[in-house]
Amino acid sequence: MLEAYPNRLHFLPIFRPDKGPGATSESAVQPTKVLLGVSGGIAAYKAADLVRRLREAGAEVRVVMTAAAQAFVAPLTFQALSGQEVRSDLLDPHAEAGMGHIELARWADLILIAPATADVLARLAHGLADDLLTTLALASAAPLVVAPAMNQAMWRHQATQNNLRILRGRGVRVLGPAQGSQACGDVGPGRMSEPQEIVAALSPRCALAAGCRVMVTAGPTREPLDPVRFLGNRSSGRMGYAVAQALAARGAEVCLVSGPSALEPPSVGELVQVDTASEMHAAVMARLARCDIFVSVAAVADYRPVAPRATKIKKAEDEMTLRLVRNPDILAEVAALPGGPFTVGFAAETEQVETYARSKLKAKGLDMIAANLVGGPAGAPGEGRVGFDSVDNALLVLWEGGGRSLPFMPKALLGAELADLICERYLASAAG
């Protein structure tokens, strides 16, 4: 599929090839030069660990701090961890004697701002250059990656979301944020992604082509019986939301088609909310032409009532018969399209997980399938017998000629592991 979009392949590797004169086998891999911008939020303390992890991954790191960031972490901390002098002043007479900010802008292979506060995102979106960090972002041709961190209300504010749309439109890659409890006591989206997740998202093993378009389906569907009742299932949407967020963090343009869920939706390019299987089918097919990868995590109802009642069904007889009709098989239909997207399915099974999953992989012509055991008690850690409506899960991921087990873990982490594997397999298939 990448052959149709030759200009899309744009990795942000921790290692980069040295193509200069005199390159040898010993010098064929040189460290990526990462310019880390640290802005003023409590998450600045995580940036210290991020420097360490970037260096462990082989990157050369230089740190630029805003004035506000220095109120949270001392520059000496980053100097000790990076082995390089920390810069913070745009008009530093010593550095600017040699046009230091331009030198830094040219030095960087990648500019990573973590944490990226609402203020920094706003200034980047509107092209301001009123401190060293924002000036470097304007003066450098290096790819820009931001890891937002802020209060949940600030994250949800329309101004912040508008700024993010502007930045994404310019090709800026947005990693996160995560959800959870915050320093102010609020709970919701806005936590900076963990350092290990940021470093993993920059790895060439799991980085998608810039602009690669992914559609993820998530959650249950509800098939109405009457105005107050429906046929549904126990899916919470948690697994699909985790996969969508992780793929967005890895450089994809994500469209999330979600059935009813009580969860806060992840930050993706497009969110389409539906109720029934027919609505999900219509939403998927209407957008499929713009899709490189399709990940079907949703627990779509196999059947729907033939004739939903227009009024509430009254309790009368001791027994009642419902006539059901098959819903469209969205996954099979997508996989059968000539020249269609790289297609990943899910299989929730109560027994013989691998047998049924391999059968589904072959019968529907999928590129990958992720299967898990559901319907029993939680059991001991590692057994993974929960699946639906739980915070933890385990997956058996299969493809033709191979497979991998992802152990029992929180779905947020499992989504990231699965996203890495999807990226790996997709890029391998694209390379032939």
Kindly report the CATH number assigned to the domain that includes residue 424.
Answer: 3.40.50.10300
Last residue of a domain, one of 201, 223, 251: 201
17 belongs to a structural domain: yes
381 belongs to a structural domain: yes
Considering the domain architecture, whether residues 197 and 217 belong to the same structural domain is answered as no
Least Cα distance to 64 among 32, 89, 97, 94 occurs for 89
Considering the domain architecture, whether residues 189 and 268 belong to the same structural domain is answered as no
Contacts of residue 123, Cβ cutoff 8 Å, sequence gap at least 6: 130, 134
Considering the domain architecture, whether residues 51 and 104 belong to the same structural domain is answered as yes
**Residue 241 confidence class, pLDDT cut points 50, 70, 90:** very high
Query: Which has the higher per-residue pLDDT, 415 or 430?
Result: 415
Q: What does the pLDDT average to over 276-284? A: 97
Q: How far apart are CA 69 and CA 151, in angstroms?
A: 16
Considering the domain architecture, whether residues 191 and 275 belong to the same structural domain is answered as no
Q: What one-character DSSP code corresponds to residue 301?
A: -
CA distances from 142 to 28, 87, 111, 135 (A): 21, 18, 6, 13
Q: How far apart are CA 417 and CA 78, in angstroms?
A: 29
Q: Is residue 11 within 8 Å of residue 41, measured between CB atoms?
A: no
Phi-psi region of 178 (alpha: psi -120 to 50; beta: other; left: phi over 0): beta
Considering the domain architecture, whether residues 56 and 90 belong to the same structural domain is answered as yes
SS3 of residue 329 by DSSP:
coil
278 belongs to a structural domain: yes
Q: Please give the tally of structural domains in the chain.
A: 2
Each residue of 119-148: pLDDT tens digit? 999 999 999 999 999 999 999 988 899 999
CATH code of 176's domain:
3.40.50.1950
Q: How far apart are CA 142 and CA 110, in angstroms?
A: 5
CB environment 253-277: b (16+ within 10 A), e (fewer) = bbbbbbbbbeeebbbbbeebebbbb
135 belongs to a structural domain: yes
Maximum Cα interatomic distance, the chain, rounded to a whole number of Å: 90
- pLDDT > 70: percent of the chain: 85
Q: What does the pLDDT average to over 28-55? A: 88
150 belongs to a structural domain: yes
Each residue of 340-363: pLDDT tens digit? 999 999 998 888 889 999 999 999
Query: Which has the higher per-residue pLDDT, 345 or 101?
Result: 345
Q: Which domain range does residue 90 map to?
A: 2-201
97 belongs to a structural domain: yes
Q: Is 11 exposed, middle or buried (0-12, 13-18, 19+ CB in 10 A)?
A: middle
C-beta contacts of 222-225 below 8 A and 24+ residues apart: 222/259, 222/260, 222/275, 222/276, 222/301, 223/276, 223/277, 223/301, 223/303, 223/304, 223/305, 223/308, 223/327, 224/276, 224/305, 224/308, 225/305, 225/308, 225/309, 225/313, 225/322
Considering the domain architecture, whether residues 96 and 39 belong to the same structural domain is answered as yes
Last residue of a domain, one of 173, 201, 229: 201
At residue 336, does pLDDT exceed 80?
Answer: yes
Considering the domain architecture, whether residues 335 and 398 belong to the same structural domain is answered as yes
Is residue 184 annotated as a catalytic residue, yes or no? yes
Query: Which has the higher per-residue pLDDT, 211 or 231?
Result: 231
Considering the domain architecture, whether residues 98 and 173 belong to the same structural domain is answered as yes
Residue type, 179: Q
Considering the domain architecture, whether residues 249 and 371 belong to the same structural domain is answered as yes
Q: How far apart are CA 389 and CA 408, in angstroms?
A: 15
Decide: pTM greater than 0.95. Answer: no
100 belongs to a structural domain: yes
Considering the domain architecture, whether residues 99 and 163 belong to the same structural domain is answered as yes
Catalytic one of 184, 206, 212, 255 = 184
**Residue 205 confidence class, pLDDT cut points 50, 70, 90:** low
Number of Cβ within a 10 Å radius of residue 388: 17
At residue 63, does pLDDT exceed 50?
Answer: yes
Considering the domain architecture, whether residues 331 and 386 belong to the same structural domain is answered as yes
SS3 of residue 297 by DSSP:
coil
Considering the domain architecture, whether residues 183 and 219 belong to the same structural domain is answered as no
- Pairing status of strand 187-191 against strand 270-273: unpaired
Last residue of a domain, one of 176, 201, 226: 201
Dihedral sign from CA coordinates of 202, 208, 214, 217 = negative
Both tokens of 206, joined, read 């799991």
207 belongs to a structural domain: no
